[in-house]
Amino acid sequence: MHCEPPDMVCETKIVAAEDHEALPGAKKDALLAAAGAMWPPLPAAPARPSLGGAGGAGPPGGRGLCIREFRAAEQEAARRIFYDGIMERIPNTAFRGLRQHPRTQLLYVLLAALCFAVTRSLLLTCLVPAGLLGLRYYYSRKVVLAYLDCALHTDMADIEQYYMKPPGSCFWVAVLDGNVVGIVAARAHEADNTVELLRMSVDSRFRGKGIAKALGRKVLEFALVRNYSAVVLGTTAVKVAAHKLYESLGFRHMGSSDHYVLPGMTLSLAERLFFQVRYHRYRLQLREE
pTM of the model: 0.78
Q: What is the mean pLDDT of residues 10-34?
A: 40
- Report the 10 Å Cβ neighbour count for 47: 13
Question: In what helix (H) or strand (E) does residue 194 lie, and over which residues does it extend?
Answer: strand 194-202
Residue 24 is predicted with a pLDDT of: 46
Q: Which fold has domain 65-285?
A: Aminopeptidase (3.40.630)
Tens digits of per-residue pLDDT, 98-111? 999 999 999 999 99
- Report the 10 Å Cβ neighbour count for 263: 18
- What CA–CA distance (Å, rounded) separates 228 from 230? 6
Residue 84 is predicted with a pLDDT of: 97
Residue 233 DSSP SS3: strand
Tens digits of per-residue pLDDT, 58-94? 443 345 899 999 999 999 999 999 999 999 999 999 9
Contact (Cβ atoms closer than 8 angstroms) between residue 95 and residue 113: no
The residue extents of the domains of the chain are 65-285
- What CA–CA distance (Å, rounded) separates 283 from 289? 14
Residue 63 is predicted with a pLDDT of: 59
